[in-house]
Structure 1
Amino acid sequence: MRLQGFSTNGDRRLARRSATYAALDLGTNNCRLLVARPVRESESASGEHFRIVDSFSRIVRLGEGLTQTGRLSEAAIQRTIDALLVCREKMAARGVTRSRLIATEACRSAANGFEFIERVRERVGLELEIISRETEARLAAEGCASLADSAAKSVVLFDIGGGSSEIVWLAAGAGVPGGDRIRHWTSLQLGVVTLAERFGGAEVSYAQFSAMTDLVEAELQSFLASASCEERCQRFHLLGTSGTVTTLAGVHLNLPRYDRRRVDGLWMSRAEIDAVMNRLRRMSYAERSQNSCIGPERADLVLAGCAILEGIRRCFPSERIRIADRGLREGMLLELMRADRSVD
């Protein structure tokens, strides 16, 4: 079921007032849905041009075991289909009129990725689109760039995923769509799931953490070289989106339960990132599982995410990082709404 948009001029005028949009991001680890309606920027407390009317997130681990077998397992497929059925019902209940439903690294790299997409179409009635790594980087920039310091000449955006991590060099350009600000980008085939399966996630020694960090740093060298000519100023900073950085922020704030309003847009200093990562590395698997901002579903992945972040920080030293609890889904929503002229 591909939910269609409006086509006539009259329909487009109606879309400004009543259209309901959905964006679904099926990653290696998570299945996430946002349903939103456009609003005037002056009416939005977050400045995101839309109001969220429904959401859904479930850890499905679609890519579990993929690095060993090259295929999506039957158990992972069933977990994911169950989550997609929930998404379908939410979209129907909210009367979604326009949508984009994407799948990323797990489906890109699995031998049976396209077979899975067809199975979802037949079983669930949703048409998933396997996007390229370049498109993934662009959507991340579209969704997050509004959080970049408008006075900075350049910013490095990173999105640490389950099966891949996208790194983007953004040029200055307040008010310019994020996708138009990309100067360089790369996609590492390294994510929290792939690294944890390769090096270990439940119990991570100093040597294992160092090995993961060294690997990420090595993989970033060509990107670092391509961006070496770009200018950095004193306001240069990192902008991170993913479960890794939002988890770090939640733990740093000692939140009794995760709160997006406290996390999205938070600035953290280099010293604060150092402190919270050291705190996580000292925790046992059981302690990470019991932390309200991590939980048992992420306890074996968060240190792999920390290692990826540490590799990025080594290559792009910065005194501060801004945390984004927004990304691909928000980027898709903005692009759909702009195409319909539902937002400026």
Structure 2
Amino acid sequence: MASQNDHFASIDIGSHTIRLLVARSNEKLEIYPLRLERRITRLARNFQEGQTLKTPGIRESLRVLEEYAGILKCHGVSDVACGATGVVRKAGNGEEFLAEVRQKTGIAAEILSETSEALLSAKGVLSVIPRTEGYILSFDLGGSSTEFLLLDTRREKPLWHTSVFIGAATITERFLSEDPPPLEAVSRAVEAIQDALAPVFQAIGSILPAPPTPFPLQVVGTAGTATTLAAMNLKMTDYCPSRINGLPLTENWLTATIEHLVRSTLALRREIPGLEAGREDIIPAGALIVREILRGLKQTHLIVSDAGLLEGLLLDLIEKKYGRPQALVSPLTWRMQKG
């Protein structure tokens, strides 16, 4: 049984970044974030489906996780939830990589199934956005995969979910590696994105009622591409999650931003306020995927959530520790002041 002095942590081993969240919780079901870290490791660099993780990405990821292990010890963390996604799930040596993580850091990481990743991401998203009536499509866009989950706020369980092996890093490496990329390559990237997403739109169209419907669809995006685009929209030099949560991004703004990005060199992109260092090469591909999601769903805008898988992992961990049911909408409440 947890006490009010227990510290918890979650770690998200993604295809492009590894993130850490340390927090304190109490029996009033309040969570006080204490530390948030993010490191770009590019575990998916040069990865193609069916292949193995490459040595440079493994070494950098192990270095970061060893750093995180020190942070966990410093904060006296009692419980850790560590989930690996996308590229680790697909890689032939994913389990071997996580075994090495356990050996060198003591962190017991596990590969999340597509279903678990989608549910935990949505759990994190729903914990920070206002509760509205209607259908919600949550998407978690990572470096090598994108998870979709369709919800009806009148129901406790999701209506549908899937994972598509397409992400900001994989599209960049296949089509947009030149600096800047030729417009022909951008067109090929758009076609590949549309082909990959077509089954998603077909499935959603078969589930949602035909218009007009009294319950509109709200599209919510999370993870690095969505939050970076939101920071760029706000020209945010000092990242602030509370300003990101609930921010709308329109298709028109995305199109204008994409046109600017694909015509800019990497050096010029690095000067864009809000564009996180290390994402300047993959952000055009990420923005293209987000825009094609909106177009395929015939939506004019999406809502951005800073919270996602990392927060969902932490919520799920604390609920289990307190013996609470694992609900999609968590009874836990975030408290932004540090405890």
Q: TM-score, normalised by structure 1?
A: 0.85
SS in 1 for 2:4: helix
Question: What's the CA shift for 1:288?
Answer: 0.8
Superposed CA offset, 1:192-223 (max 9, x none): 11111111244223332232222222222222
The equivalent of 1:9 in structure 2 is none
Query: What residue number does 1:277 align with?
Result: 258
Offset of residue 236 of structure 1: 2.3
Give percent identity, aligned residues only. 28
Cα distance in structure 2, aligned partners of 1:145 and 1:153: 13
Which residue in the other structure is 2:119 paired with?
Answer: 138
Aligned match of 1:321 in 284, 289, 302? 302
Q: Please, which moves more after superposition, 284-293 or 92-101?
A: 284-293
Distance in 2 (alpha carbons) for counterparts of 1:293 and 1:199: 24
2:19 pairs with 1:32: yes
Q: 3-state SS of the aligned residue for 1:250?
A: helix
What is the 5 A alignment of 1:1-344? 12=1, 15-38=2-25, 49-67=30-48, 70-148=51-129, 150-173=131-154, 180-201=156-177, 202-228=179-205, 229-231=207-209, 233=214, 235-341=216-322, 344=332
**Paired residue type of 2:321:** D
Contact conserved, 1:71 with 1:110, CA < 8 A, in 2?
Answer: yes
Structure 1 or 2: more helix by fraction = 1
Post-superposition Cα deviations, 1:112-145, rounded to whole Å, max 9, x if no partner, equal 2111111112222222101111111111111102
For residues 251 and 112 of structure 1, what CA distance do their matches in structure 2 show? 36
Secondary structure (helix, strand or coil) at the match of 2:279 reads coil
RMSD: 2.3
Structure 2: stretches of 5+ with no match in the other structure: 325-330, 333-339
**2:299 match: secondary structure:** coil
Residues 211-266 of structure 1 deviation map (CA, whole Å, 9 limit, x = unaligned)? 22222222222222222231355742210002111111111112233332322221
Relative contact order: is structure 1 or structure 2 higher (C-alpha 8 Å, sep ≥ 6)? 2
Question: Given that residues 216 and 308 in structure 1 are in contact (C-alpha distance below 8 angstroms), is that contact kept between their aligned partners in structure 2?
Answer: yes
Worse-matched range after superposition: 252-261 or 157-166? 252-261
> Which whole-Å CA distance do the structure 2 matches of 1:185 and 1:56 have between them?
28
What runs of 5+ residues in structure 1 fail to find an aligned partner?
1-11, 43-48
Distance 1:225 1:74 in 2: 38
Q: Distance in 2 between matches of 1:318 and 1:147?
A: 22
Taking the aligned partners of 1:170 and 1:279, their CA distance within structure 2 comes to 34
- Between the aligned partners of 1:204 and 1:73, the Cα distance in structure 2 is 25
Task: State the number of aligned residues.
Answer: 320
After superposition, the C-alpha distances for 1:89-108 in whole angstroms (9 at most, x for unaligned) are 11111111111111112211
Q: Compute the TM-score of the two structures, normalised by the length of structure 2.
A: 0.87
Please give the alpha-carbon distance, in whole angstroms, between the structure 1 residues aligned to 2:35 and 2:116.
25
Task: Give the aligned residue type for 2:220.
Answer: L
**Structure-1 separation of matches of 2:170 and 2:139:** 17
How far residue 53 of structure 1 moved from its aligned partner, in angstroms, is 0.7
Q: Any idea what SS the aligned residue of 1:209 has?
A: helix
What is the SS of the residue equivalent to 1:17? coil
1: distance between equivalents of 2:37 and 2:225? 18
